[in-house]
Structure 1
Amino acid sequence: MPYTDPHVAAPSLWAVRQEYGPEFQVSVVEPDDVDKRRRRLSIEEALIAVYRRESGENTTANFGRIIDGYKRSSMRSSGFTGGTLTDDETESNSAPGIGPLPWTDADEPTSRSWMGLDWTAPEPLANAYGLPTDPGVYRIWDQDEPEPLEYIGQSGNLKSRLYQHRRNRDAELVFSYAILREGDEKHKREQVETDLIGAHWLATKEAPREQF
């Protein structure tokens, strides 16, 4: 099994090839301004989000996932080579992910019900104290210029992550978060984060200002 560098999906694709056969198909497209990294990554997030919405499934090799029965290699510098699991081993990244969000109020990125999540009321980052330590997603924006948002993120500990934003960003910006009861694994939170970034792109034709 290859390492996760130079490409993070390499171990997953290797495992698929071992399990199901040697051939893949590939298709490419070159959108306008594809050389602009922020635009390119935003389109990628939107494509994955729409795939999740339309298929009701997760892509196999995104979000650091791997198919059942395999463990992932690490980066080359760490030297761990993955492969098939033994009977007494488990791999958290092969666990089922979170399904697509319901896309409620998808074109309203500051709505309290955006994408079907239960968002808290916006508060200034200066008030980011006493927050829950639960896993979840969050958004940050300027109330005077709400579109595009400043940032969309995920964390296994909302209190810790938003405290970092309070120290490093303009305290007048506002934040809002939604707890993810199924967000125990990073790949699950990233799936929800991708839905949010993709929906934001489709609604505003821009990425959040500080996203990439």
Structure 2
Amino acid sequence: MSPDPEQPAVPDLEAIDHFFDNWCNLTWTEWIPFSATKQVFHRIPKEPGLYRIRPVGKEYLVYIGETKRALHQRLHNLRIELSKAEQMPWSDPHTEAPALWALRDAERLAAESEPHPEIVSAIQKESADDQLQVPGGADNLEEEPPVEAFAYECSAAPLDASDSGRRGMESFLLYRYRQEYGESPLCSLGRFHPRYRRSTTKKEGMRGGRLAGGQKDNPAGGPSRLPLCPSGTPGDRDWMGLAWSAPATLDEEQLRNVPHSQGLYLLLDAGSKEVIFIGRADNCASQLSGQAGRAWEGKDPVFSYHATDGPVLLHQLRELEIDLIGNYYEQFRKAPEFQFRGSSHGTRGPATE
């Protein structure tokens, strides 16, 4: 599943920096193949931070993630899980593993009739270069996994921040990528290959896999939503080009006027007017009613909502939500106060763990 052909053409590469080593002012490592030796893979930092994954040698991303664990350990475990999985991995502990597996499996099937020599060549060259840098040459290297027709490589950036700060930066990276490339990474924000179904958690026990010929496409394989145009300030009635309702008290009387439709919503502190939470909803009235019953640490929140025009796929709704969180982070260099406080506030985000 390559990037959506119906999306606008990719801008001039000189204007795109999502694969550079200083993207968004972070210090990114070189691109390291999942097939690299253990010694080469140790170039990935052992601190918490952000990471990005792409097909070897390509200029588009398939995933952007964050981890509170050591980046090296997180990515090493992911590559081991993908390398050993003859079946689609479970959705835990690596939420992105099923989507990465499905995309790679689909590309492998396509490669049976149309090989990708440029990808194979890139991997072989990387392996040869690595051997030259190790004392003793190839004899001191661990056994290499077989060359894949469609392989991944990763790049990581350490970030010394709180969980909220790190997840806020992850949201900002997803937002920036959407602004630069015109769509989301192929395996982020719930996107999935259209001809595969996702594995559940191991406890739930439903293994995913390729859909049979007569089965309908997975809706998560639908097109990416075009990114929102950055404009205005969070809380403005036209922020990000959307039509927001006038702020209203989060009580039963005001909630009667909220539609039972999909949409996005903001919670603002009644005193400071600062946005303290950004959310998405399949049913705005129901979601906001649930938020009204929660404790907000002494704050008196008011709400504003934007109802979407017609049905929106779940991953598209998440994309719109991430555009809002990312733009908020761009303007204030932090996430909204309650954005990543945990399930007690209905918080949902793109976090990996």
TM-score, length of structure 1 as denominator length: 0.91
Structure 2 match to 1:72: 198
1:115 counterpart = 2:240:
yes
1:136 counterpart = 2:263:
yes
Residues in 1 aligned to 2:311 and 2:334: alpha-carbon distance in whole angstroms: 26
Greater RCO, 1 or 2 (C-alpha within 8 Å, sep 6+): 1
CA displacement, residues 176-206 of structure 1 (integer Å, 9 cap, x when unaligned): 0001225532211111110101110111112
1:146 counterpart = 2:273:
yes
User: Would the alpha carbon gap of residues 76 and 182 (structure 1) be closer, same or farther in structure 2, given more than 3 Å must change?
Assistant: farther
Equivalent residues of 1:98, 1:182 under 8 A apart: no
Equivalent residues of 2:172, 2:330 under 8 A apart: yes
Aligned identity (percent) is 32
Equivalent residues of 1:58, 1:97 under 8 A apart: yes
The CA deviation at 1:173 is: 1.7
Structure 2 match to 1:166: 292
Please say which of residues 20-29 and 108-117 is displaced more in the overlay.
20-29
Residues in 1 aligned to 2:186 and 2:195: alpha-carbon distance in whole angstroms: 14
The CA deviation at 1:130 is: 3.2
> Of the candidates 303, 316, 323, which is equivalent to residue 195 of structure 1?
323
Equivalent residues of 1:142, 1:150 under 8 A apart: yes
May I ask how many residue pairs the two structures share in their alignment? 207
The one-letter code matched in structure 2 to 1:137 is L
Residues in 2 aligned to 1:39 and 1:24: alpha-carbon distance in whole angstroms: 27
The one-letter code matched in structure 2 to 1:72 is R
Structure 1 match to 2:225: 98
Unaligned 5+ segments in structure 1 are: none
Secondary structure of the 1:190 match is helix
Structure 1 moving runs of 4+ over 4 Å: none
Equivalent residues of 1:182, 1:188 under 8 A apart: no
Secondary structure of the 1:39 match is helix
> Of the candidates 43, 47, 54, which is equivalent to residue 169 of structure 2?
43
Unaligned 5+ segments in structure 2 are: 1-87, 108-148, 341-353
Residues in 1 aligned to 2:189 and 2:183: alpha-carbon distance in whole angstroms: 13
Please say which of residues 21-30 and 177-186 is displaced more in the overlay.
177-186
Structure showing greater radius of gyration is 2
The CA deviation at 1:167 is: 1.9
The one-letter code matched in structure 2 to 1:66 is F
The CA deviation at 1:46 is: 0.4
Equivalent residues of 1:128, 1:166 under 8 A apart: no
Structure 1 match to 2:153: 25
The one-letter code matched in structure 1 to 2:183 is E
CA RMSD of aligned residues (A): 1.6
The CA deviation at 1:125 is: 0.9
